[in-house]
């Protein structure tokens, strides 16, 4: 009579955990990843404390025409809100909006963006102050005047929606294509919090922040922003 092999409960649990971890790593690496907004550079569209899901697959390379026809991938477009590795410090993630595409000429006049000499319609833009008069603008104020410059091949010109308070391509240059991680998809949670920096404040500060989130979860959650699609 043949012997029936039965897995132990411990082994079954272990295999289930391993499979779950592998799937989670696959999803995080290739499909979707969570990010948090730490600054106000994308206000008023994205707020400090917004937690986003980023589609990392949509801009992924494909091997041929068949894959391109089947898989939901596409080229980067103007207006896409993208998460990327900050070129000056690749271990940090930034989020900005694509404004200039490869080969295009980008110029800023009185805070208005021009692409190849034509004004760009940007209903999402937020300004802290109105544009200055021609006499008040200095050649060093890139918030008022910039360019014209031509975007190199395989690079992009990105800007924050909060134009007067954003460190973007006006300050650090063009964004290489291979630094882009994905397109911001939706807000899955939003918590009203203060601006954060990138310094390690230690375990004590981390526990204090965690305790604050737990105790104020219902009162500080921005419920109206949950599942809000990002445009």
**139 contact partners, CB below 8 Å, separation of at least 6:** 145
What was the pLDDT predicted at 10?
Answer: 74
Task: For Cα atoms 48, 155, 186, give the angle at the middle one, nearest 5 degrees.
Answer: 30
What was the pLDDT predicted at 199?
Answer: 39
Instruction: Based on the residue annotation, tell me whether 96 is a catalytic residue of this protein.
Output: yes
* One-character DSSP codes across the chain: -PPPP---HHHHHHHHHHHHHHHHHHIIIIIEEEEE--SSTTTTTS-TTEEEEEESSTT---SSHHHHHHS------TT-EEEEEETTEEEEEEEEEEEE-TT-EEEEETTEEEETTEEPP-TT-B-SSPPPPTTT--TT-TTTEEEEEEPPTTEEEEE-SBTTS--SHHHH--EEGGGEEEEEEEEEEEB------SS--HHHHHHHHHHHHHHTHHHHB-GGGTTEEP-
Residue of 41, 166, 169, 193 with catalytic role: 41
* One-character DSSP codes across 155-199: EEEEE-SBTTS--SHHHH--EEGGGEEEEEEEEEEEB------SS
Please state, in angstroms and rounded to a whole number, the distance separating the CA atoms of residues 51 and 213: 13
169 alpha-carbon distance from chain centroid = 14
Instruction: Based on the residue annotation, tell me whether 190 is a catalytic residue of this protein.
Output: no
Q: Which domains does the chain have, with CATH numbers?
A: 33-199+221-229 (2.10.109.10)
Residue of 8, 16, 96, 220 with catalytic role: 96
Please state, in angstroms and rounded to a whole number, the distance separating the CA atoms of residues 126 and 154: 28
What was the pLDDT predicted at 218?
Answer: 80
The model carries a pTM of 0.77
Per-residue pLDDT tens digits for 201-231: 455 555 666 666 667 778 889 999 999 999 9
Q: 98 has which bridge partners?
A: 158
Please state, in angstroms and rounded to a whole number, the distance separating the CA atoms of residues 74 and 67: 11
Q: Is the peptide bond before 148 cis (omega within 30 degrees of 0)?
A: yes
Ranges of the chain whose pLDDT falls below 50: 5, 26-29, 196-201
- The Cα-based distances of 34 to 17, 20, 87 in angstroms read 21, 17, 20
């Amino acid at each position: 009579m043949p012997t029936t092999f039965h897995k132990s409960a411990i082994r079954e649990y272990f295999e289930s955990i391993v499979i779950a971890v592998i799937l989670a790593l696959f999803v995080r690496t290739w499909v979707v990843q969570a990010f948090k907004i730490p600054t106000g550079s994308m206000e008023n569209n994205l707020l400090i404390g917004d937690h986003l899901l980023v589609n990392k697959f949509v801009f992924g390379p494909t091997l041929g025409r068949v894959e391109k026809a089947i898989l939901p991938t596409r080229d980067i477009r103007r207006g896409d809100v993208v998460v990327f590795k900050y070129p000056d410090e690749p271990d940090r993630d930034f989020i900005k909006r694509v404004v200039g595409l490869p080969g295009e000429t980008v110029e800023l006049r009185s805070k208005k963006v021009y692409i190849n000499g034509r004004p760009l319609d940007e209903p999402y833009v937020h300004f802290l102050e109105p544009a200055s008069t021609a006499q008040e603008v200095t050649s060093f104020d890139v918030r008022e005047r910039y360019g014209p410059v031509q975007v190199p091949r395989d690079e992009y010109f990105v800007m924050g929606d909060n134009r007067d308070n954003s460190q973007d391509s006006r300050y650090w240059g063009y964004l290489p294509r291979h630094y882009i991680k994905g397109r911001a998809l939706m807000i899955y949670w939003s918590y009203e919090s203060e601006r954060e920096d990138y310094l390690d404040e230690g375990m004590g500060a981390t526990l204090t922040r965690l305790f604050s989130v737990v105790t104020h979860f219902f009162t500080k959650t921005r419920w109206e922003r949950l599942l809000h699609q990002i445009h």
